[in-house]
Amino acid sequence: MNTYEIIKELAKMKKISIRQLEIDFGYSNGYLSKWKNNTPNADELSRLADYFNVSVDYLLGRTDTSGEHTETELRKALENVMSFDGEEMTENDKEAIIAYMMGRKGK
């Protein structure tokens, strides 16, 4: 996939149209579609990566992972984690860590 296709997919996941994304970023109509054949500059890539919470490498198609972890992956990673005193973490502690890592802090 090229950068444009990746951005299009990310926009779809966020339930936002490419045109709306262009408006939000102050781009002219059809600006992002030019990225089908051209690589955007670093500043634009960085802004979009921050917006979608992914890496610039992901937008460029250099990595297959967006950098985000699924809740299932986080739960699996916490299965055998011990607290600082060597005892198993409580379920409340695990839920708090998962919520924090998924960006739901305080929600």
**Cα distances (Å, whole numbers) of residue 48 to 12, 34, 37, 71, 105:** 14, 15, 18, 24, 23
Report the SS3 class of residue 88.
strand
pLDDT, mean over the chain: 83
Digit-coded pLDDT (tens) for 66-106: 655 566 777 777 877 777 777 778 888 888 887 877 665 44
C-alpha 47/C-alpha 75 separation (Å) is 30
Residue 11 has pLDDT above 50, yes or no: yes
Domains of the chain (ranges plus CATH)?
3-59 (1.10.260), 71-101 (no CATH)
pTM higher than 0.75 for the full model?
Answer: no
Question: DSSP states of 5-73 as a string?
Answer: HHHHHHHHHTT--HHHHHHHHTPPTTTGGGGGTSPPPHHHHHHHHHHHT--HHHHTTS-S--S---HHH
